[in-house]
Amino acid sequence: MLELKVHDGDREVVLKLEHSLLSLSKWESRTKTPFLTERTKQPIEMVDYFRDMVVSPEEDADLVYTFTPDQLEVVTNYINEPQTASTVPEQKKEYNPEVVTSELVYHWLVAMRIPFHPVETWHLSRAVMLVQIHAYKMKPEKKQKRSTLDTMTEWIRQNETNKKILGIKDGKEEA
């Protein structure tokens, strides 16, 4: 959670902001536009998103429009900052035309049986990392390719075991 002090006339207000699945949902439902795309957002779109990030006091959410350039930079850095120590091994990047929206992230949570609360209030980078870790851990383990010599040695060993079980000696069944 990020806290910023904003002046509103005579009073000072501390806005609490969250970059979370909930704030993403608010913005997308209002704008009917996916947020997590490569498209560069206009400054007003970003400030509108900052408004949706306000957790408290909600009645003062419009104060984001009074942010100084330094405060805008602080919020932008907070959004871009990974708030997790976790990583997953780099995957070969394949083209995926699927647009990630809040509903798709919720779908991932449902499919992985991850409860919405408290995940939907986490920093978005943590929620997405949880999904990535779950997906990585659920992948079947890749078998390492064996050398031809190892494969043939295993076949010979298995063949000898089968001969003993079936009572075969030098290609002939024992009577």
Residues 61-118 have pLDDT tens digits of 999 999 999 999 999 999 999 989 988 887 766 666 788 899 999 999 999 999 999 9
Instruction: Kindly tell me if the per-residue pLDDT of 175 is higher than 60.
Output: no
What is the pLDDT, as a whole number, of residue 169?
A: 78
Q: Residues 16-43: pLDDT tens digits? A: 999 999 999 999 999 999 999 989 999 9
Q: What are phi and psi of 169, to 5 degrees?
A: -130, 120
- For residues 88 and 136, the answer to whether their CB atoms sit within 8 Å is yes
Instruction: Select the more confidently predicted residue: 130 or 94.
Output: 130
Domain ranges of the chain: 1-142, 147-175
Length of the chain counted residue by residue: 175
- For residues 25 and 124, the answer to whether their CB atoms sit within 8 Å is no
The pair of structure tokens assigned to 11 is 């009073």
- In whole angstroms, what is the distance from residue 152 CA to residue 145 CA? 13
Q: Residues 148-165: pLDDT tens digits? A: 888 888 888 888 888 888
- In whole angstroms, what is the distance from residue 42 CA to residue 123 CA? 22
